[in-house]
Structure 1
Amino acid sequence: MPEHRRRAPRQAEAERNDRALLQAAREVLAADGVHASVAAIAARAGVGIGSLYRRYRTKEELFQRLSELSLDNWNNAAAQGLAADDPWEGLTGFITECIEFGQGSLAPIAGTIEISAQMRAKSERSDALLAALVARAHEAGVLRPDVTPVDVSLLIEQHGTSPVLEQLRKQGRKDLIEAAVQARTRIVAIALDGLRAVHTEPLPGHPPSERLFTERWDPRPAG
C-alpha cells in the first residue's frame, strides 16, 4: 500500500483526537477553571495523556491554541455580523454565536499563559471588529447609546458558561440538560433585550475600561 494511503487514516484519527481534545479542554475549563488538569482533559476527550502530549508539549501550549481558535471564532462571527443587512441582527447574531461557542470559558486562564504575537494580532482585530459592530448599531439607533464594546464583551463572557449546565453534566442528569439549555436561551434573550435603544434609564456606574480585558491577560509573576 502506498505510504500516503497508510498515512491518511492515521492523520484523520489525529485530527479527530485534536478536535476532541480542544472541545474537552474548553469544557473542563468551564467546569474547573484555572485548576483544569491535562489528565481531566484527556479523560474527557477519551484519549490517552500520551496522545495529548504528542500534540501539545505543555498545558500552556494547549491553552494558547484554544485561545487562538476562540479569537478566530470571535472574528468570524463579527465579520458575519457586519455583513448582515440589519445592524441589530448583526450585533445580536454575533453575541449569540460567541455565547454558544463558549467564549467566556477561557476567562479563568487570563494572566496564566504567554500571549503570542499571533494571539495579540488576532485580539487587536477582534477589538476593531467589535467596535465597528457597536458603532453601526449606535448609528442605526437600535443599541442604547451608553452601551460600549467592553459592555458587550463582558456580557458574552458572563453568559459564555452556564453553571447550571456544568453542574447537571457533572451529576449525569441527562434528563434535565435540555431544560437547562432552553432556560439559558431565555436568559440570553432577556439580556439581549436589555441592549435595545428603547430602554432610556441610564446604566449604573461608569463604563468599564479596556483594562478589564487587556491587563487581565498580562502574565503576572507568581507570589
Structure 2
Amino acid sequence: MSAPNEAPPAGEPLLDVRDLVAGYGRKQVLHGVGLRVGAGEIVTLMGHNGAGKTTAIRSVLGALRPRSGTVRIAGRDTTRDPVRKVVAAGVAMIPSERFVFPDLSVHDNLLLGAANAPSGSGTAERLATVKDLFPILAERARQPAGSMSGGQQRMVSLGMALMARPRLLLLDEPSLGLAPSVVETIFGRLRDLADGEHLGILLLEQNVKQALTIADRAYVMRSGQIILEETAERMRLRPDFWDLF
C-alpha cells in the first residue's frame, strides 16, 4: 500500500480508473468508464453537458460511491474510501463553482487550504510558492476574496488546493465564465505545475481548443462512456473533432 505522497509503484499511473459504473438513484450515468493519469501529465476529459464528466471525477474523489469498477490512486484502491481519505491520499478537486470563503482575506483563504497538507510540509514556503505562481494573490493578500473578480477568485481557489500539496488535481471547468486572457494565464500555470512539480491533472473542460494547448492526452466521453482516447497532439490535428461531441 502506498503512503500519502509516495510515488506510485513502478509502471502504475498516478490515477487508474477501470470499468467504473456509477449513477444517482435508479439512473446509471457511467457505463464502464476507464481512464488514467500519470504523474506530471495533464489529461483532459471532454464531452457535452450531461456526458458524465463531473460524475466521473466525483467518483474519483469519493463524493459518489461507484456501483462497480475500481479507482486506484498511486497503486492503492480507493474505490470505497470516503472523501477525507481520498484527500489524505493527495487528491484535490476544484469544482466549477467559485469556491472561496468570501469574507476572509486572500491570505487567510490560502492558509485554510493548508489544513489538508501533509504534516511538516512547510506552510510558509508553500505560501510563497503559490504567490509566485499567481502574483495577484500576493498583491491582494489582505483583500476579501469575495470582492475579487471571477478570474481572481478562480486563482484563489486553485491556490487553496495547491497549499495542500496534492499529487493529483481534479479541475471541473476552470475556464467557465472567465476572460480568454485569464484562462490563458491559469492554463499556463497548470502546465508549469505539471512540469515543475510532477503534478497529475485531470481537466474537465468545454473550452476544447484551450484545453488541448496544455494537455498531453485527451479522452472524449459520450453518454457515460469513453468513446476515444488520443494524444492531445493528434486531437489538435483532427479536422473534424467537433463531430465527436
From the two aligned structures, give the one with the greater strand fraction.
2
TM over 0.5: no
From the two aligned structures, give the one with the greater helix fraction.
1
After TM superposition, the score normalised by the length of structure 2 is 0.28
After TM superposition, the score normalised by the length of structure 1 is 0.30
